[in-house]
Copies of this chain bind each other. A is one copy, B any other.
C-alpha cells in the first residue's frame, strides 16, 4: 500500500515549491511589491491558471485583497487575464518568463524616472540660465546658478543613457550584447 508513500511525496513536493515561493515573494518585496501580492504571484507561478476563489482558498486571504492585488500584478504585467469560456469567474495566469517581468517592471520605472526628472531639469535650467544671464545680479548668485546649471546639464547624460537602456531592453537588442545563454 503506497497511499502513505504518495502522501509523503506530495508533502515533499509542496515543501519544494514553498522554498521557491518564499524566495520569489522576498524578491518582489525587495522591489516594493507588497508581500501579499508577492505571495499571490509566487503561488500562481506553479499553477497553470487560477481564479480568484482558488487563490483565496489557497492563500487564506479575503476576496477584495485578491481583487486589488491581482490588479496591481496585472499593472506590472506579472499576471495576465485568461478568457475562459463556460465560467463567469475571471481566471488568471502568472507570467512565467522572468525576462518579460524584468522588462515590464524596470522599463516602466526607468521611463517614469526619466520623464519626471527631465521635465524638472528643463524647468530648472530655464530659470538658472535667466539668472546667469542677468548681469544686474550679484556674481555670487550668478555663479551658483551657473554651477547648478552645469550640474543638471551633466546629469542629463545619465537620463539619456537610461532611455537608451530601456530602448535596448524593449527591442531585445540587449540580448545580442548580453546573451541569454
Given A5-B136, A177-B177, decide whether A109 and B20 contact each other with a Cβ distance below 8 A. no
Instruction: Kindly list chain B residues whose C-beta atoms are within 8 Å of the C-beta of A109.
Output: 30-31
A13 and B6 CA atoms in complex are apart in Å by: 73
Q: Which of A153-181 contact B (CB under 8 A)?
A: 155, 157-162, 164-165, 168, 174, 177-181
List 6 contacting pairs A-B, 8 Å CB cutoff, sorted by A. Answer: A13-B128, A13-B145, A16-B128, A97-B158, A164-B178, A174-B178
Q: Name A residues whose Cβ lies closer than 8 Å to a Cβ of B.
A: 2, 5-6, 9-10, 12-13, 15-17, 19-20, 22-24, 26-27, 30-32, 45-46, 96-99, 102, 109, 112-113, 116-117, 119-121, 123-125, 127-128, 130-131, 134, 136-138, 141, 144-145, 148, 151-152, 155, 157-162, 164-165, 168, 174, 177-181
